[in-house]
Amino acid sequence: MSESSKSIGNRGEDLAVTYLKEKGWIILDRNYSFERAEVDIVATDTRWIIFVEVKTRSNSYFGHPEEFVTPAKEANLKKAAEAWIYERKMETAIVRFDIISIIDYYSGSPEITHFEDAFR
């Protein structure tokens, strides 16, 4: 029986959080949503507030996960980021948008690729 895309996505986000913490980043928020816009992870490396979109697939048969971040998804991420910043009165923060692409093979080690400053 195949695993649901939601559980694959949740595991991918957990892997991404672990990866970012190992880099020394601080996780500020997870699964923040505003209206219909959502951002998977909000983190900081002490210089930037980084909004991270995590894309996870169990294989790359239909393309790499990062290829599924569409212009519409980017616009939604920006909308959620603006709301997150506004709610916390951090309008002067320096922000960045990253993508973490994960291919979580059933056999074991996931392949994690981090695209820093993936779009503006």
Query: What are the boundaries of each domain within the chain?
Result: 5-119
Q: Average pLDDT of 68-82?
A: 95
Average pLDDT of 26-34? 97
* pLDDT above 90: percentage of residues in the chain: 77
Is the CB of residue 80 less than 8 Å from the CB of residue 88?
A: no
State the pLDDT at residue 3.
Answer: 65
Mean pLDDT of 46-74: 93
7 pLDDT above the threshold of 90:
no
What pLDDT shows up at residue 1?
A: 38
**More confident position, 41 or 59:** 41
Cα separation, 56 vs 39, whole angstroms: 14
Chain-wide mean pLDDT for the chain? 92
For the domain made up of 5-119, give the CATH fold. Answer: Trna Endonuclease; Chain: A, domain 1 (3.40.1350)
Question: Is the model's pLDDT at 2 over the cut of 80?
Answer: no
Strands (DSSP E) along 1-120, which ranges? 26-34, 37-44, 49-57, 95-103, 111-119
Residue 75's SS3 state is: helix
Instruction: Indicate whether this model's pTM tops 0.75.
Output: yes
